[in-house]
């Protein structure tokens, strides 16, 4: 599919309303980018373009993304509960090895 109507030569959109009107010209099956822009709206999609435009970001699968967040929350909880000598207790509580708990506690952001 293509633009349904409304193209005007040399008429560049400058506002979010004009971008939204441009998006309305396209059917959702035109491309994944158009579909996503239509779902988010021009303002939010422009934020995505500002952050990632011109790059090739790695987008993890939904399962991987949520698993990583869940693991990070678990790791923060372990660090908060660490008293200096409770590696074994934390390992048992979180079903991890002592080595895994040690690595979590000793981890530092890069």
The rounded distance, in Å, linking the Cα atoms of 37 and 60 is: 19
Q: For the chain, state the CA radius of gyration.
A: 23
Instruction: Identify the H or E element spanning 92.
Output: helix 87-93
- What is the rounded average pLDDT of the residues 4-13? 57
Q: What is the pTM of this model?
A: 0.61
Q: Round the average pLDDT of the chain to a whole number and report it.
A: 84
Intra-chain end-to-end CA distance of the chain, in Å? 46
CATH class, 62-106 region: mainly alpha
Q: What average pLDDT does the segment 49-71 reach? A: 90
Which residue ranges make up each domain of the chain? Answer: 1-56, 62-106
Cα–Cα distance measured from residue 94 to residue 91, given in angstroms and rounded to the nearest whole number = 5
């Amino acid at each position: 599919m293509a633009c349904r109507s409304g193209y005007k030569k040399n008429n560049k959109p400058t506002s979010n309303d004009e971008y939204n009107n441009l998006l309305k010209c396209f059917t959702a099956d035109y491309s994944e980018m158009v579909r996503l822009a239509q779902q988010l709206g021009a303002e939010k999609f422009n934020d995505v373009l500002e952050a990632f435009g011109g790059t090739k970001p790695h987008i993890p699968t939904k399962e991987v993304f949520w698993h990583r967040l869940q693991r990070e929350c678990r790791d923060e909880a372990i660090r908060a509960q660490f008293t200096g000598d409770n590696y074994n207790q934390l390992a048992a509580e979180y079903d991890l090895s002592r080595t895994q708990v040690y690595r979590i506690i000793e981890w530092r952001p890069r």
